[in-house]
């Protein structure tokens, strides 16, 4: 069991479009390694550090800004903190807790984001795992053609589905502008990729394991719960994390299906509104942006392994 898991993990760790080369890291003799080390020049490292610095400065500047007083944010740049240091959490309290029509109200939107993203990550994973199992291990006529169709759906841009789906939600189901509408929309849009990736993974589970269970009299439901789910946990975690972040960071689906009120709309939508009136919200935006970034950054730094794996596997998301 652990064997097939590691096998499958390796499969996900390798970027798509790469041939099955023997993994060089383990077999590489130490002599070779030394040769390769010599190839990296100090100039290359210096250039790399320069690029890394350039890439980090914008985010770093915003983080520094978020801890400066509103007057300071408005009157000069964040680099002045090195000349006249100051520190305040005022902005964070302002955007999170002050309520009222003109305030940022981010506390509520933060809750909305969580309430949207958790189910919208779990629903597609569950439904996709079932469908992926059916495609991989239940033989039926037209299985191949149907799977290709599902794969092909990845190329349909979200924009193609927005208007009719909104009509279905508002006229047939009457749930437009509610949490279930956003959940269902994200579930639908996430399904093609989730089914495709999980199918690739579940198909690799050794046939003997499933055959043995079948001989023991297990039916599909039992096989699904006793073999497929336990063996696919690493893949489920990677793809689940990725779907969660995708939903958390999404703006388009939220704009169309959430109705745009503080009752349902997520953080991204409120941020887009705030930045739309940049002049009035200048001192609020750094703290507001960091409140929305904190969840992805925690996920990123604590689960980077899973995150990278999901990214490598998901790099064909259309």
Partner 1 sequence: MTSEFFSDLAAKFGLMFLGLAVFAAAVGVILFLADRAPKRGRDIWQLLAFLAPAMILLGVGLVYPAINTAVLSFFNRNSSEFVGFDNYVWMFTEPTILTTLGNTLIWVALVPTLSTAFGLVYAVFIDKSKGEKVLKSLVFMPMAISFVGAGIIWRFVYEYRAVGFSEQIGILNQILVWLGQEPQQFLQNSPWNTFFLIVVMVWIQTGFAMVLLSAAIKGVPVEIIEASRLDGANAWQQFWNVTVPGIRGTLVVVVTTISIATLKVFDIVRAMTGGNFDTSVVANEMYTQAFNRGEFGQGSALALVLFVMVLPIVVYNVRVLRQQKEIR
Burial of 17 (0-12, 13-18, 19+ CB in 10 A): exposed
- Rounded to whole angstroms, the Cα distance separating 82 from 60 reads 13
Q: Which is nearer to partner 1, 2 or 263 (CB)?
A: 263
Residue 40 sits in the site that holds partner 1 (CB under 8 A): yes
Q: Which of 6, 75, 261, 302 binds partner 1 (CB under 8 A)?
A: 75
Question: Phi-psi category of 103—alpha, beta or left, where left has phi over 0 and alpha has psi -120 to 50?
Answer: beta
Q: Which residues are within 8 A (CB) of 155 and not within 5 positions of it... i.e. 6 or more apart?
A: 318
Site for partner 1 in 153-192 (CB under 8 A): 153-165, 168, 179-180, 183-185, 187-189, 191-192
Residue 210 sits in the site that holds partner 1 (CB under 8 A): no
Q: Mark the segment that binds partner 1 (CB under 8 A) among 83-91, 122-130, 199-207, 231-239.
A: 122-130
Residue 200 sits in the site that holds partner 1 (CB under 8 A): no
Residue 197 sits in the site that holds partner 1 (CB under 8 A): no
Residue 213 sits in the site that holds partner 1 (CB under 8 A): no
Cβ at position 53, least distance to partner 1 in Å = 8
The runs of H, that is alpha helices, within the chain are 2-13, 24-27, 30-39, 42-66, 70-75, 90-97, 106-137, 143-152, 158-167, 179-202, 207-215, 220-223, 229-249, 252-257, 267-276, 278-281, 285-302, 304-313
Cβ at position 62, least distance to partner 1 in Å = 5
Residue 82 sits in the site that holds partner 1 (CB under 8 A): no
Site for partner 1 in 91-120 (CB under 8 A): 97, 99, 107-108, 111-112, 114-115, 118-119
Phi, psi dihedrals of residue 28, rounded to the nearest 5° = -60, 120
């Amino acid at each position: 069991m652990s064997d097939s898991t590691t096998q499958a993990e390796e499969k996900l760790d390798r970027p798509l479009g790469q041939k099955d080369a023997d993994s060089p890291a383990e077999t590489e003799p130490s002599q070779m390694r030394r040769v390769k080390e010599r190839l990296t020049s100090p100039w290359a490292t210096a250039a790399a550090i320069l690029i890394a610095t350039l890439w980090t400065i914008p985010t770093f500047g915003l983080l520094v800004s978020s801890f400066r007083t509103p007057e300071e944010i408005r009157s000069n740049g964040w680099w002045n903190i090195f000349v006249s240091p100051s520190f305040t959490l005022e902005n964070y309290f302002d955007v999170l807790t002050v309520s009222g029509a003109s305030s940022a109200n981010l506390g509520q939107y933060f809750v909305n984001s969580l309430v949207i993203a958790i189910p919208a990550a779990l629903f597609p994973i569950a439904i996709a795992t079932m469908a992926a199992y059916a495609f991989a291990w239940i033989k039926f006529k037209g299985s191949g053609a149907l799977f290709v169709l599902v794969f092909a759906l990845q190329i349909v841009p979200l924009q193609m589905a927005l208007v009719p789906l909104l009509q279905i939600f508002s006229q047939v189901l009457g749930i437009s502008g509610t949490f279930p509408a956003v959940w269902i929309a994200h579930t639908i849009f996430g399904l093609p990729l989730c089914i495709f990736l999980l199918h690739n993974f579940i198909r690799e589970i050794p046939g003997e394991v499933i055959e043995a269970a079948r001989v023991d009299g297990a039916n599909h439901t039992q096989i699904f719960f006793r073999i497929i789910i336990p063996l696919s946990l690493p893949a489920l975690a990677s793809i689940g994390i990725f779907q969660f972040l995708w939903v958390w960071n999404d703006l388009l689906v939220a704009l169309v299906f959430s109705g745009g009120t503080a009752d349902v709309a997520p953080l991204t939508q409120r941020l887009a509104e705030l930045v739309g009136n940049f002049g009035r919200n200048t001192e609020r935006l750094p703290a507001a942006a960091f409140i929305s970034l904190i969840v992805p950054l925690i996920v990123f730094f604590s689960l980077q392994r899973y995150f990278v794996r999901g990214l490598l596997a998901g790099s064909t998301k259309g």
